[in-house]
A and B are shown apart, each in its own frame.
Chain A
């Protein structure tokens, strides 16, 4: 195992056993048989370990869902759903650490920093499936807006994580429902809708009927 990974594991274990971050970098380094200086060559702070953990969870979830036999048959929408389910399953298996990290991250560095690595992974993935969706005609290409689709998915992920943290249903069944409904709503917005037609109709009238627009 790479030393970065083993430090990451040791950090998670410490948090789970003690319910807090290690007291100092010095102590943590010594426990793991390295010097403090060596620690800093891998991570700038404990927070950067947290950031890397979130990033690697997302990377792992993406790897796992892509490895499924059915993956090639999935539409863009199904791929998004599949990642959401896969990622949330992964979070469930580490719920204690996840809740600690979120609470801690919120106070110390802010959630947007905590998620910066994860967001990169997620955006690469979403950009891919959205592009595929647009190419296949499943999603509508809208100037300016289609570039924002991935942000909408990111917001949806945030909503789902928040929902899950408050979910008390057995087996987190409600979270599954939240994913199914949430991702479908978001994807429905990406598809062609009456608004597109209204917009095009307006454009057509403006060009061809000689009606002066009031603006």
Chain B
């Protein structure tokens, strides 16, 4: 008996050891990249750091993509934050949105047997064992039932279990990339962990997908798939197949400006209706979650990550974006304090410093709101965001925890949205669903 217990205890960390060796390997490789960089530099002093960053990003990406699951998700998240990471990292990480090695056919059969009691070909009239897409913590298969074309999403086994340990392993990397200390950012990491764990609950996802698609049904030019809860389980989701192209493929077809504006508007309305009316937002605006249908409508296919906006965040934050708010320094400072961007113990000069920096940040964030419509095609706005991100990344003052945890997903959502609109080169009306902050005045 004693021996058995010993064995059991030993058996748990092994997989973690496996994973950490993966990271250790990456660590070595990155070390190697630095060696390579500096030895080259001996001979060629104007070698830029771009190449080094690219080497590092490639290696980190490689090891993250092997880990799959939550680590892949973190890679995706980092890739969304174009304003935090150097460009070279972003290009590599963006790949993680598209490929991941698939589950074997027999494992899919096994998963269905376990969760539905039957092999997939017994549940659907047709089921394609070859997956058509990877979906970060799962993959998508095409199926058919009663003449309807379906998309079946299957989650990799063990994703939920490995999230916490994966995050612990990713932490030092994430923090080195962002350059902040580990302990202070625990509260953010917990927020990420919470969202990631929610994402592994496919039953919850089906429920939310149905709720949100119902609440958003009146929005123009948006289509939602029908969900089939009776054909879904904690690790599988069955929904209608939406015909169409992913954003990248769609853009290659050279759509007209008018059409791009329509899609952009649909995106804008979708996000801002949720933020300002539902106070819960689809917080995963990466291009893989959208399909552009042949009749130029926006299909939304993934509701894994929903961020709810509590009042004590919503009101102070969005009142900052309303016009003229910054003219009142007292009110602005009060809002910054409520959002923990300025701390009680900050000295007078620190207060001034952060007041100034955060005004710039919120100013950038709120720029699209400042007029009736906004042209996202220009690079100037994005260069500003990017430069701002680069600048604060180098400032020691920002290597500490500031701002409530809700910022992570709200920033990710909105900057992610801006990014997609930029790729679409769309001009959208930004006054359709505006922040509801009269209350705060």
Contacts and interface: CB of A to CB of B under 8 A. Distances in A.
- Whether A and B are associated in the same complex: the answer reads yes
Chain A interface SS verdict (over half): helix
Given A163-B11, A171-B114, A184-B104, A177 B109 contact: no
A151 interface: no
Chain B binding site: helix, strand, loop or mixed by DSSP? helix
Nearest to A180: B107
Interface residues of A, number: 25
B147 interface: no
A151 B4 CA distance: 27
Contact of B104 (A73, A77, A173): A77
A73 B157 contact: no
B8 interface: yes
Interface in A29-74: 68-70, 73-74
B110 interface: yes
B170 interface: no
Given A73-B129, A163-B11, A176-B110, A68 B104 contact: no
Given A68-B119, A89-B113, A168-B8, A180 B104 contact: yes
A171 B379 CA distance: 52
Interface stretch (A78-86, A126-134, A135-143, A194-202): A78-86
Interface residues on B, range: 20 to 34
B7 A176 contact: no
A168 B161 CA distance: 12
B110 A89 contact: yes
B158 A177 contact: yes
Nearest to A176: B157
A74 B107 CA distance: 12
B113 A81 contact: no
Give me the 3 closest cross-chain CB pairs, A-B, nearest first.
Answer: A82-B106, A81-B106, A85-B110
26 contacts: A68-B109, A70-B105, A70-B109, A70-B121, A73-B105, A73-B129, A74-B105, A77-B104, A81-B106, A81-B107, A85-B106, A85-B110, A89-B110, A89-B113, A163-B11, A166-B4, A166-B7, A169-B158, A171-B114, A173-B157, A173-B158, A174-B161, A176-B107, A176-B110, A179-B107, A180-B104
